[in-house]
Amino acid sequence: MKLQDIAPHRISRMSEKGYMDPHYIELPRIILVGNRVAKRIVKVCEDLNIQGKVLVLTGPTTHKIAGRRIRERLESRFETSLDIVNLASRAEVERISRAHGGISAIVSVGGGKVIDVGKCIAFTRNIPFISIPTAPSHDGVASERVSLTDGSAKYSERARPPMAIIADLKLIRNAPYRLIASGCADVISNYSSVYDWKLARERGEYYSKYAAHLSKLAADIVIKSAELIRKRKERGIRNLIDAVISSGISMSMVQSSRPASGSEHLFSHALDVLGSRALHGEQCGVGTIITSYLQGQDWIMVRNTLKSIGAPTGASELGISKETAVKALVNARKVKDRYTILSEKPLDWKAAQDVCRRVGVV
């Protein structure tokens, strides 16, 4: 059996010395970033030696913006089929899988849901997956993770990173600003998750300096580019998409969401369970204000950066009550078995309320 025939998560094991042995890393093969690069889709498929039928997945809105055009381009060279993704759920994955047989590659053109569903089906079928994000709303654009919902429960699982990412700046720059701001907040949250990872390292958990630095670098770049992003300057959006991709790669390097998901993500997951309808990145951004305060990091810088970008910094902007924010903070450490600042400093209702007030979240 060849190495590539084995599911990566089955072959890498943490050694007693704290490194993975063997260390298996799967990364995207092509990353294309630039203005109007989506029109190079046929060339990218040819470079990947794709033959046979290509399934294009897109969303109801993104179909009109880009999905239809990309399918038309593909049709000039490949047999294609198209489907509209409405939800990132297991049921939707199964529906689309049943409807489209004999496909040899999947191209997702859209936001997080479209990318997650495409990534999941491609992983199950072991076929190439190409990600064409229309918005940088979170770091799933390039990561090996998929996030699916079943009823009220959301869960994240491992798949495989896209074989190619085509980040068309023309498309992404025109995305609704709320999605851009949410993507920034998701990357800024690496500031808190890397700190948590270091705490876990002290307790013997596997830690990769390379992945941690890459994840932190992504956050730093977004923080420094806040002004340019707010003005939708090309340089700012380019820095953001580079950061979103780097953040995804840092997770693929260690086959875990660890580099980009710590206590602030636990807070966001706890909010999901409580029925919050805010965007993932928005919730993580608010979580980062709280957790960087608990970590003794520069939470004021985090809050000011989020403010300058135009991302939420408090419960009311997330559309949740003060009680929900406090409850999520109390519940966060129970959401997942992951060592973070919240394991080190467990908060009861009174302490959580106090922290939320101190950092201006409630």
> Whole-number minimum distance, CB 299 to Zn ion, in Å?
19
> Whole-number minimum distance, CB 194 to Zn ion, in Å?
13
* Residue 275: count of CB within 10 angstroms of its CB: 9
Closest residue to Zn ion, judged by C-beta, is: 186
Binding site for Zn ion (CB under 5 A): 186
- Which of residues 89 and 190 has its CB atom nearest to Zn ion in the complex? 190
Q: Cα-flanking dihedrals φ and ψ of residue 128, to 5°? A: -60, 145
- Which of residues 186 and 282 has its CB atom nearest to Zn ion in the complex? 186
- Which of residues 38 and 266 has its CB atom nearest to Zn ion in the complex? 266
Gap between the Cα atoms of 312 and 317, Å rounded: 5
Gap between the Cα atoms of 112 and 149, Å rounded: 12
> Whole-number minimum distance, CB 182 to Zn ion, in Å?
10
Gap between the Cα atoms of 59 and 69, Å rounded: 13
> Whole-number minimum distance, CB 338 to Zn ion, in Å?
13
- Which of residues 186 and 196 has its CB atom nearest to Zn ion in the complex? 186
Pairing of strands 20-21, 80-84: unpaired
Q: Vertex 212, ends 129 and 266: CA angle to 5°?
A: 80
Report helix, strand or coil for 307: helix
- Which of residues 59 and 262 has its CB atom nearest to Zn ion in the complex? 262
Task: Check if the beta carbon of residue 140 is closer than 8 Å to that of residue 248.
Answer: yes
Report helix, strand or coil for 294: helix
Q: Is the peptide bond before 22 cis (omega within 30 degrees of 0)?
A: yes
Gap between the Cα atoms of 121 and 98, Å rounded: 11
- Which of residues 59 and 285 has its CB atom nearest to Zn ion in the complex? 285
90-99 and 112-125 are packed helices; what angle lies between their axes, rounded to 10 degrees?
60
Gap between the Cα atoms of 23 and 159, Å rounded: 17
> Whole-number minimum distance, CB 227 to Zn ion, in Å?
23
- Which of residues 37 and 172 has its CB atom nearest to Zn ion in the complex? 172
- CB neighbours of 337 closer than 8 A, spacing ≥ 6? none
Gap between the Cα atoms of 246 and 28, Å rounded: 11
- Which of residues 67 and 287 has its CB atom nearest to Zn ion in the complex? 287
- Which of residues 295 and 353 has its CB atom nearest to Zn ion in the complex? 295
Gap between the Cα atoms of 333 and 138, Å rounded: 22
> Whole-number minimum distance, CB 284 to Zn ion, in Å?
5
> Whole-number minimum distance, CB 332 to Zn ion, in Å?
14
Report helix, strand or coil for 31: strand
Residue position matching structure tokens 């973070």: 340
> Whole-number minimum distance, CB 288 to Zn ion, in Å?
11
> Whole-number minimum distance, CB 261 to Zn ion, in Å?
6
